[in-house]
Amino acid sequence: MASKKPTAGELRGLFSFQQRGAGNDGFPGSPDIPGTGPMTEVFKSAGRLTPMRGGEGITAGRLEGRQPYFLTFRSHTLARTIDTSWQVVDVRNNNKVYHVKSPISDADMHNQWLDMLVQEGGVE
User: Reduced to 3 states, what is the DSSP secondary structure of residue 83?
Assistant: coil
Mean predicted confidence (pLDDT) in 59-82: 80
Judge whether 1 lies within some domain. no
Q: Which residue has the higher pLDDT, 93 or 60?
A: 93
| Residue 30 resides in a domain | no
pLDDT of the residue at 52: 82
**C-beta separation of 1 from 25 below 8 A:** no
Say whether 80 sits in a helix, a strand or coil: helix
- 40-44, 63-67, 93-97, 116-120: least confidently modelled range: 63-67
Whether 13 is covered by a domain: the verdict is no
- The predicted-structure confidence for 73-94, as pLDDT tens digits, reads as follows 988 889 888 998 899 999 999 8
C-alpha triplet 85, 90, 94: angle, nearest 5°: 95
Report yes or no on 43 lying in a domain. Answer: yes
Q: What is the average pLDDT score of the chain?
A: 81
Domain assignment present for residue 27? The answer is no
Instruction: Give dist(CA 84, CA 98) in Å, integer.
Output: 11
**Alpha-helical regions (H) of the chain:** 56-63
Closest CA to 74 of 97, 42, 50, 106: 106
> Is the residue at 69 inside a domain?
yes
Within-domain flag for 75: yes
Give the structural domain span for 76: 35-113
Number of structural domains (the chain) is 1
Q: Return phi, psi of residue 92, to 5°.
A: -80, -15
pLDDT score at 2: 46
Tell me, yes or no, whether 78 lies in a domain: yes
